[in-house]
Amino acid sequence: MRFVWGWVVLGLLLCGDDALAKDKKGKKKKKKEDEGIELTGIAAFDQVFARVGEIDQRLAASELELRTGKGNLNEALDLKRGTPITNGIAELQERAGNKLSVAVNKQAVPKLTADDAVPSDVRSAMDAVNAMTGNFSTSLTELHALGPEIDGLVKEAKKMPSRLKDEFDGGALDKLFTLPKVSKALTHDIGITTGLADRTESLTTRMTEVMTVVRTEFAPAQGGGGGGKQGGGGARKKK
């Protein structure tokens, strides 16, 4: 009877939000902040999740780069907290007029330079943009290389619930008592694993768009003239 109950618990734990993430009124609970990978205690599983944990941390670092870049740019220009990066870049272009120009290196990384003396806020914002694009370039190189590895990890993770059944076959009483804890960790880790691809794609898209806006916003206007693009026609998508 205890053996049957153990598998009932396993089923509840592995079915995800529908069984576990609702309160007494049937409403989904607010998810806690991700605390990273949890060890399951099964070596074959944890070897896979150790690599997932490394990628998760790298993506978290890149997500922090986005937030930091936005915060530094907004602080330099004294903009409202949370102002999208692209809006901040457009504001910088407007304040700088034609005094900033952009150069692009072989890796397609844009860098702003001041043609003349500029106000301190423009200088600080220019430095913030250059630091941001430099960081984004490094992150994008890493992100582009992650795709195949993430695909492989997701495939491995999706096989683990059935492998967990094999791991606990035999009916040992001590294993039955550890099953709920292992199942909970496994469910948590699979959730992180299956979310890696979407996070990678989102970061790649957002960082690429910011780099594009910097290149276009400060490109020379058609027909000659100064370093700024006339009309400040950069994108206004939220970043």
Average pLDDT over every residue of 161-170: 74
Average pLDDT over every residue of 61-81: 96
Domain residue spans of the chain = 2-15+49-217
Average pLDDT over every residue of 102-112: 92
pLDDT number for residue 229: 52
Residues 59, 199 contacting (CB under 8 angstroms): yes
> 3-class DSSP state for residue 238?
coil
Q: What is the DSSP letter of 185?
A: H
Name the residue among 68, 59, 201, 219 with its Cα closest to residue 133. Answer: 68
Q: What separation in angstroms does the CA of 82 have from each of 33, 41, 72, 95, 139?
A: 20, 41, 11, 19, 22
- Characterise 75 by phi-psi region: left (phi > 0), alpha (psi -120 to 50), beta (else): alpha
Distance separating alpha carbons of residues 191 and 221, to the nearest angstrom: 48
CA dihedral sign of residues 54, 206, 35, 83: positive
- Range of weakest confidence among 59-63, 131-135, 178-182, 224-228: 224-228
Per-residue model confidence as pLDDT tens digits over 18-54: 333 444 445 444 444 557 899 888 888 999 999 999 9
Query: What pLDDT band is residue 132 in, cutting at 50, 70 and 90?
Result: very high
Task: Give the alpha-carbon dihedral of 165, 171, 176, 180, to 10 degrees.
Answer: 20
Residue 190 has pLDDT above 70, yes or no: yes
16 or 54, higher pLDDT:
54
Distance separating alpha carbons of residues 189 and 41, to the nearest angstrom: 12
Strand 110-114 versus strand 100-104 pairing type = antiparallel
pLDDT number for residue 165: 74
Task: Give the alpha-carbon dihedral of 66, 209, 124, 95, to 10 degrees.
Answer: -140
Residues recorded for the chain: 239
Name the residue among 18, 19, 42 with its Cα closest to residue 181. Answer: 42
pLDDT number for residue 175: 59
Q: What is the DSSP letter of 119?
A: -
pTM, rounded to two decimals: 0.75
Average pLDDT over every residue of 175-196: 85
Residue 138 has pLDDT above 80, yes or no: yes
Residues above pLDDT 70, as percent of the chain: 73
140 or 168, higher pLDDT:
140
Average pLDDT over every residue of 80-107: 93
Place of tokens 């034609």: 98
Average pLDDT over every residue of 195-220: 94
Residues 77, 92 contacting (CB under 8 angstroms): yes
Q: In 36-195, where do the E strands start and end?
A: 100-104, 110-114
Per-residue model confidence as pLDDT tens digits over 191-204: 999 999 999 999 99
Residues 6 or more apart whose CB falls under 8 angstroms from that of 36 comprise 53, 56, 57, 192
Residue 213 has pLDDT above 80, yes or no: yes
Query: What pLDDT band is residue 239 in, cutting at 50, 70 and 90?
Result: low
pLDDT number for residue 35: 72
pLDDT number for residue 61: 95
Mean pLDDT score of the chain, rounded to an integer?
81
Q: What is the DSSP letter of 222?
A: T
